[in-house]
Structure 1
Amino acid sequence: MKHGIRHHRSRSRLVLLVLLLAAILSASTRIVAHADVTIPNTIRVALFINTGASVSTTLTSSATLQSAGGMNIVWKDPAFSAIVGTAASKQTVRFGLDGYRALLLETPDLNAALAVLKSVQTQSSAAYVTQLNKSGRAVYQVSEGAYTSAAQAATALTKWTIAGIGSGVQSQLSPRIAGPWAIEAGPYASAAEAAAAADVIGNIGLDAFVAMKPMNGAVVYTVRVGQEKDASTLGAMQQAVLAAGVANVILPAPGDPYALIRNDMSLSGTTVVPVSFYAIPASSGVVLRADPAGTEYIQLTERAKQTYRGSMEMSIYNNALAVVNDVNLEHYLYSVVAAEVGAGWPPEGQKAQAVAARSYALASGMAFKIANVVDTTVSQAYAGTGIENKNSTAGVDATKGEVLVNASGKIISALFSSNSGGITADSTEAWGNVDPTYASAAISPDAGPNTGKKMWVRIASAAGLTGYVREDLLVDSGQKNTVGLAQMQVTADNTIIRSKPTTTDGEEIGRLMLGDSVVPLSKVPEMTKAYSWVANFTPEQLQASLSKRDPSIAGPLYSLEVTARGPSGRVTEVKANGVRVNIGYPDNFRSALGGINSTLFQIEETGRMTVLDGQGGTREMPMQAGPLAIIGDGQVQTVSDGNLFIMDGSGQLRAATAKPKFIITGLGWGHGIGMSQWGARGFAEQGYDYQYILLYYYKNVTIEKGAV
């Protein structure tokens, strides 16, 4: 903020003193305000959720949990909660959809069933062996899938049948579709009574499972009989169960809430592990929760066996299994800050990230209907307890309850990105709208990833190769070539020319020997993922990527040029073959152009040039087709491939190619809106505190400590 000050000669020293004191006070009293902002104790993080087509998130057919301290399984009802099961230390419990499956076989031979299970698991993550008691003995059913329709399961069954899965095992049933349709017996006073009734029903050859359902403010146990694809067989099944002497057998109404408990068998190496599988029907509103019974965390196998603080809630949302981690907000931030900036960030950078992450999470509200956030960068990275470190935890603890609040008293969605490339984006450059919350085109100390790294020289060799050589392998020779271009000399044998300015991601395209002369074309920073980068594309690659966003972009792609930029220099418009690319928001150029890191970029069209034709006219290459020839010393040489070196009107040498190629070079990683994480690190290393950092990147806000 700039202040207008009248300067009176007689009072200048006093004014200067006042200003100095004000600066000192503002720096030392940038104390967190206390406002009427409520900070919740917990946050809901979706680890698996089907959000529909709008947001891409991962799905799973089942959630496999265990805890070294054991777990309590809780039925969570809007009116009550009740413990319905327990798991001992490191005992595995699994949750999934009670939907449609391809039921492949049934055998009394567990080893045979497990062998088939292994075979199915090579092609599917939804393969199961389920134990039932039928006709006085244990049998094992192998099934695949967690489908929401019988048609989907039928397609899968056909695939497995054609593949001959299980054909070597003598099965007691023909492959069929299993589904959630069943009859119900009970209720019973306990799970043991329900299990005894299931054994009676199993003795007449029917599939019977213990189940739970809410009734009169409590959870009761029942037996669900059958796993049918529709209701057509239920009447006859009901009569058979009644004839066996089982009372209170009904046809439950579709949509009735329940949870079926299967006794599944899993493999841990060569060890057979019994698993309680809680199957939840779609569209029933059933929520089951796993609470740690002790102080140990819960492990989720399907998330790389990561462990999590808090509880896990399982439900069916949008016809898919949803797994939500209900966790203390500050504990959630322990992992987020560690995942987002890592242990090496200075303390003030850790604190800045903690306040931004806390604000972003709370401003989201229930953005995902049953969760506030997801665990990926769709929201912000969250990887459970394994990534936590003492520095990030200290940053969270030091700022407990602190958030960024706008003039209306609302917590802001404090957007941040990894690296703004030296200058933050204006909000219009990302999503087209003006937002005064974020600093526009603010200079940011983002070059940290390149600290201590060499510059690279893009060169043209005598053999016609063009690529990158590290600057310390070249010296200025003090000489010029025959056309007057400065030359550099190679200082080491077998110097590699790389396709990109890096030793880790640049392909070798040639070698130079000690004393070789090259012509320097440009000098660039070493390529680092978080700051400077180079991406090489063929026309076919870019056309395929662009057409996914804008189907009107049809090949072949001849030209691709930047035609508009925003206040920070980020690209806001691109034309392909002279036609504006319509990709919606400008930030979509990152995905539309092959997944580049940011929109702070330039495009080099190596195949684009203006040439003279045989009649003295001009031809625009490559838009106007035709052979390309070079005339020199009375000789004509046709060029169909390879590199060309062109002198422009100002005497600058440009590397070109006979066929179109595109080199996109840029700075930064991410959308660039709000706080740059590398910029926050840079400021912290310069001695600025986290409050300064936050108020530099976010405008028209205050830092407030809410009531927790």
Structure 2
Amino acid sequence: MFAGIIASVVSSIESSIARSTSVGGLSLFLWLLALSPAAALEMRVAIEDGTSEVKVGSSTPATVKDGSGRVLGQLDGMNAFLAVSGNNQIALSTWQAGQMWIEPGQGGFVYIGDRWYRGRTKLVLADGGLTAVNYVDLEEYLYSVVGAEMSPSWPSEALKAQAVAARSYALYQRKHRGTDTYDVGDDTFWQVYVGTDKEDPNTIAAVNATRGEILTYDAQVIEAVFHASSGGHTEDVEQIWQEPKPYLRGVPDYDGDAPVYQWNETFSSGELSNRISGVGTVDEMLPDLTTPHGRVISMTVIGSGGTRSIEGEDVRRALNLRSTLFTVTPQGDSFNISGRGFGHGVGLSQWGAKGMAAQGYNYRQILGHYYPNTSLLGLSQ
């Protein structure tokens, strides 16, 4: 299995570039220096967190070290090994240690869980179990993120905009939400990272074309949040979350061609009653408070057994809706929910970026539209 997977990976991915040690807590100026070709920045990405065991491996023979850097031995390439936590130790093959490094040789890839990743692996005891952290060059991390977050077939200027947003978001998360063990996770809260699975020549080209570029406000990297589609207009951030930010302001969107620009769902009264508790049979759903562009902040649900005021986000989750931009219309014994967009509606609209790129805008113009009041900085500036 390993041989077939790695053969396809190697044939479609560029060779790994040089890596260096992590440089945490840097100023914006030092970040830019760290992103120079001579001093690449490593991200620490938690792939498995607090588990009892995890499958690991390497595409090439790999050196295994303990936490102090002492060599424990070698793992054969193209084989899977089970790392297990217990008695405040990590057991892997014939070795035990409080921490372990797996460092592939000859530009190899590491295997964690069920996927291949660039870089190297650190196994630590954290969060009540075993945590596997992928140490990977920031730019190579983005090869995967851009492909996971945006279709590689989209226009190159949209992919470049996504690359800059994702790079900025990763560094912001690293600075503000990273832990002693890792900088970011790999799911949608952080941004999706699935290793080499989502790399593509187009995502690699977009990352390389924008290498080291980040969005800043007041000389600080911004929280460059993004979403799929706003449904016509993005939102001021404080309408969705609490803290206002001058670079997360609502702007007209270019997402009219998105398949999720408009959508409809129909629920019977019984289905709603099963998903929204505490009111009996649902009779009415009325918005209490909406954003200036129509997103539901809170809603009153009236039923045979009582009345509840529910946050719009809680309604969205309960009904598995694409966004909180929706209206509810009774239709006899059922309710039609008509909505627009997909996601929270703040920052970059991915379908909007695609739409702007199709109209001839470049990635700098796209980023300037969705993140007003920001500066795009890189080593050349």
Q: Is 1:537 aligned with 2:267? A: yes
| Aligned pairs, number | 341
Counterpart Cα distance in 1 of 2:148 and 2:286: 36
Q: What residue in structure 2 maps to residue 572 of structure 1? A: 297
Q: Which residue of 2 aligns with 1:43?
A: 43
C-alpha distance in structure 1 between counterparts of 2:30 and 2:374, whole Å: 14
The residue that corresponds to 1:354 in the other structure is 163
Please list every run of 5 or more consecutive structure 1 residues that lacks an aligned counterpart in the other structure: 1-34, 51-59, 99-179, 181-256, 262-275, 281-285, 450-527, 548-552, 607-656
Contact 1:426 1:567 in 2 (8 A): no
Shift of 1:42: 0.8
| Residue 540 of structure 1: how far off its partner (Å) | 3.8
Change (3 A) 1:354 1:412: same
Pick one of 200, 212, 228 that aligns with 1:418: 228
CA contact (8 A) 1:95 1:277 kept: no
Q: Whole-Å Cα distance in 2 between the matches of residues 532 and 73 of structure 1? A: 52
Aligned to 1:339: 148
Shift of 1:61: 3.2
Change (3 A) 1:587 1:62: same
1:421, CA displacement in angstroms? 1.2
Following superposition of structure 1 onto structure 2, how do residues 386-535 of structure 1 map, counting pairs within 5 Å?
386-407=197-218, 409-440=219-250, 442-449=251-258, 528=259, 530-535=260-265
Distance 1:37 1:355 in 2: 18
Provide the rounded CA distance (Å) in 2 between the counterparts of 1:545 and 1:431: 24
| Kept in 2: contact 1:405–1:703 (CA 8 A) | yes
How many angstroms apart in 1 are the aligned matches of 2:94 and 2:223?
Answer: 39
**% identity of equivalent residues:** 32
Contact in 1 for aligned 2:240/2:344 (Cα 8 Å) = yes
Alignment RMSD (CA, Å):
2.1
Confirm or deny: 8 A CA contact 1:95 1:278 kept in the other structure.
Answer: no
TM-score normalised per structure 2: 0.83
Q: Distance in 1 between matches of 2:91 and 2:355?
A: 55
CA distance in 1 between partners of 2:379 and 2:119 (Å): 22
- Residue 676 in 1 paired to residue 349 in 2? yes
Which residue of the partner structure matches residue 285 of structure 2? Answer: 560
Alignment of 1:256-335 (within 5 A): 258-260=89-91, 276=93, 286-300=98-112, 302=113, 305-335=114-144
Distance 1:42 1:410 in 2: 19
Partner residue in 1 for 2:13? none
Query: CA-to-partner distance for each residue in 1:316-347, whole Å, 9 max, x for gaps?
Result: 21212211111000000000011111211111
Counterpart Cα distance in 2 of 1:535 and 1:368: 38
Of residues 681, 691, 694, the one that matches 2:367 is: 694
C-alpha separation between the residues in 1 aligned to 2:239 and 2:163?
26
Question: Is 2:55 aligned against 1:64?
Answer: yes
Q: Distance in 1 between matches of 2:58 and 2:191?
A: 25
Q: Give distance in 2, aligned partners of 1:444 and 1:702.
A: 20
Aligned: 1:82 with 2:70:
yes
Amino acid at match of 2:280: G
**2:227/2:350 contact within 8 Å kept:** yes
2:316 matched residue in structure 1: 590
* Residue identity opposite 1:335 in structure 2: S
Matches of 2:378 and 2:94, distance apart in 1: 44
User: CA distance change for structure 1 residues 277 and 439 in 2, over 3 Å: closer, same or farther?
Assistant: farther
1:65 positional shift: 1.7
The residue that corresponds to 2:172 in the other structure is 363
On the 8 A contact 2:146/2:159 being kept in 1, the answer is: yes
CA deviation string 1:59-87 (max 9, x = no partner):
x43211222212111112xxx31221211
Q: What is the CA-CA distance between 1:705 and the residue it aligns to?
A: 1.2
Q: Name the CA shift for 1:665/1:307 in 2 (closer, same or farther; >3 Å).
A: same
Q: Deviations over 1:588-622 (max 9, x none)?
A: 44213x1100111111122xxxxxxxxxxxxxxxx
Relative distance call for 1:68 and 1:349 in structure 2 (3 A) is same
Greater Rg by CA: 1
| CA-CA distance at 1:365 after TM superposition | 2.1
For 1:699 and 1:421, the matched residues in 2 are separated by 19
CA distance in 1 between counterparts of 2:269 and 2:104 reads 54
| Cα distance in structure 2, aligned partners of 1:259 and 1:431 | 40
Deviation at 1:278, TM superposition (A): 5.6
Q: Quickly say closer, same or farther: Cα 1:706–1:662, change in 2 above 3 A.
A: farther
Change (3 A) 1:63 1:317: same
Contact kept in structure 2, 1:67 and 1:89, CA below 8 Å: yes
Q: Give the partner amino acid of 2:298.
A: E
Structure 2 distance, partners of 1:319, 1:278, is 21
- Asked if 1:374 corresponds to 2:374, the answer is no
- 1:38 Cα deviation (Å)? 1.0
Change in 2 beyond 3 A, CA 1:277/1:430: farther
Aligned match of 2:80: 92
**What is the one-letter code of the residue matched to 1:92?**
A
Aligned residue in 1 for 2:3? none
Is residue 234–residue 346 contact of structure 2 (8 Å, CA) maintained in 1? Answer: yes
Query: Contact conserved, 1:351 with 1:399, CA < 8 A, in 2?
Result: yes
Match of 1:373, SS? coil
Distance 1:573 1:698 in 2: 27
**SS in structure 2 of the partner of residue 581 of structure 1:** strand
Aligned partner letter, 2:291: G
Does residue 73 of structure 1 match 2:73?
Answer: no
What does the per-residue CA deviation read over 1:158-213, in whole Å, with 9 as the maximum and x for residues that have no partner? xxxxxxxxxxxxxxxxxxxxxx4xxxxxxxxxxxxxxxxxxxxxxxxxxxxxxxxx
Pair 1:706–1:63, CA change in 2 (3 A): farther
The gaps in structure 2 that reach 5 residues or longer are: 1-27, 35-40
Cα drift, residue 91 of structure 1 = 2.7
Q: Deviations over 1:13-46 (max 9, x none)?
A: xxxxxxxxxxxxxxxxxxxxxx725145111111
Distance 2:373 2:208 in 1: 25
Report deviation, 1:277.
6.6
Tell me by how many angstroms 1:700 deviates.
Answer: 2.0
In the TM superposition, residue 314 of structure 1 has moved relative to its aligned partner by 1.4
Query: What amino acid maps onto 1:324 in structure 2?
Result: V
Equivalent in the alignment of 1:524:
none
> Which amino acid is the alignment partner of residue 395 of structure 1?
A
In the alignment, is the contact (CA less than 8 A) between 2:72 and 2:95 conserved in 1? no
User: Does the 8 Å contact 2:61/2:75 carry over to 1?
Assistant: yes
Question: What letter matches 2:309 in structure 1?
Answer: V
When the two structures are superposed, what TM-score results if normalisation uses the length of structure 1? Answer: 0.46
The equivalences for 1:153-168 within 5 A come to none
- C-alpha distance in structure 2 between counterparts of 1:259 and 1:681, whole Å: 46
| Superposition deviation, residue 556 in structure 1 | 2.5
